[in-house]
Structure 1
Amino acid sequence: MELKKTPLYDEHVKLGGKVVDYAGWALPVQYEGIMKEHKAVRTAAGIFDVTHMGEIIVKGKDALEYLQYIFTNDLSKLTKNRIIYTFLCYPDGGVVDDLLVYKIDEDEYMLVPNAANTDKDFKWMIDNKKNFNIIIENVSDQIGEVALQGPLSEKILNELTEEDLSEIKPFSFKKDIIIADVKALVSRTGYTGEDGFEIYTSSEDIKKVWNSILEVGEKYGIAPTGLGCRDTLRFEAGLPLYGHEISENISPLEGDLKFFVKLNKEDFIGKEVLEKQDKNLSRKVVGFELKGRGVPRENYEIHKNGNKIGHVTTGYFSPTLKKNIGMALIDIAETEIGNEIDIIIRNKPVKAEIINKRFYKR
């Protein structure tokens, strides 16, 4: 099957990006190297092509009521031009997807699902539409998106707009603002643990935005950045990745993300099971630091006193902290901070200690 290409595909090739298959998309995993790109985002700025992410519009008289029914978080608190992070759950509490919801207007919302899940989410939403008076549209093909991330993001973007970007607070956005002579929606969001922006335009205009940001960002030390460092950055910040810390088999509560599940709101899909689980949680995602040698990798077994108690969900050598760290789903009895566990690396137990999974704070 031929890979889908974003409007920026030729730019990635021009810049020497190492293109790989990511959820059916041809995207750069790196340009000059994951470590270098990771450092650029932590110290200056990086720009990611995230056009592969989905965009689904929900609008109509019952939009809020419908979204309250399908999502775990409480959208009744969401005001216009604000954004909320939430989960779509199956009736058994497993996760369909984690996504951002943008409140465009009183009766209109934009949802941003993970690329690999967009079609599945859209189908799930249509299948659970019931008699709600709403329109659900998958507009992913019409929209291009880049993420500008890092401490110098605002300085760089300021050079391309008349808008006062300091007015855009974290988890809020402005619509129809001009960036590099192009009309865009700009939100103060990202997936790196750094300050930054996500910029949405039409598919035709995204190339101009990408090139303009790289051009003005050069003097600030900007780097084009690939999927490789997107993962190391999100992981250091303790942010979950679908299919790892949450999945159809790992609920938001097991993923240690209870904050985004409002069990006190009216009924929503999965509520009943999540309420029961909350009273008797048997396993949970934690952070750990390796004390011995080796790099913890996804799905490595975790033991305690010779018994299996769980597995690694994500593991890396952290470029910022210079330590081998990871996240793991383990038995609830072993999740205490400071607890010692064994990670099985090449059939040998390597000592590790449970620590806070927010490994990095800016």
Structure 2
Amino acid sequence: MAGVSYATVSRALNGSDQVNEKTRQRVQEICDSVGYSPNALARGLVTNSSNAIGLIIPNITNPFYPEVALGVEGEARARGYNVFLCNSNFEPERMESYFRILIERRVEGLIVASVPDAARGLFDFYRKRMPVVYIGSRPADEECNCVATDSVKGGYLAADHLIKLGHQRIVFIGGTRTSNSQIDKLKGFRLAMEENGLQPEVRLNINYQYNKRESGYDMAKVLIQEKNPPTAIMGSNDMVALGALEACEEYGLDVPGDMSIIGFDDIPYASLPKIQLTTIAQAKDQLGKIAVDMLFKLKENGLKNNCMKEVLQPELIIRSSCRKL
């Protein structure tokens, strides 16, 4: 239809400088008129570029991760790249499957939020062969490229705030998952308590492997029914803290009148008028943006600098879920 060879059509659609502008426009007009769209995967095989990256998150129902994903998407699109989003649901087998699917899709890099221990071997295998960046607290593998929040400092800030309000019996609650993020929060929590001569108490819900609202709800119910319940609870994240708030409401306890509660993450729910949760904020969108920037630096440097790290500082956000004793 355009009166040119198949090779010329291909070059025109791929922006080759071997095709003059008049021919390029004629080819594009004909393609538009018949509704033709080039096959992106086939084009990627030719150009060796898919203009896509993969993002694997562990729990799409936790508002923390969609905010990180928005940061990743915004920065990627600004660079002309698309993002394949995958939700592993904390399942190592599903994460391994997504790794392979994304590689088959010829993504040019991977960003992974929270890697289960069972999948770490596969994670290490791929990061030595392509740009891979980890989002979260410090990774167990010190050579891993990562962008993280200083969760030790965050845990310290949360406990220190409650201690300054006069609380002495403060309990840290969460799931049983031994993620580096939770380990670091606990480290900061214990440090603040011990510096003030207080006994740190930790309750991890054996019925939940991960930090969900349900784990906070169940654990708070147990604490509320104790003969001498604590005066304050620190949730391993905001979802756990919201579960504790729900349990207090169910048992007729006023927050903060009868129980002070502090969370971690500063998800959108935390600032709702009826919740007003005091929490530790993470710059979630920045985590995503910096991860993309790190990924492209790895890509440009040919993986030569394969041990980059960037740590963001947490911030105490004071609302109305904690009171002075």
TM-score, shorter chain, exceeding 0.5: no
Structure that is richer in strand per residue:
1
Per the normalisation by structure 1, the TM-score is: 0.22
Structure possessing the higher radius of gyration over alpha carbons: 2
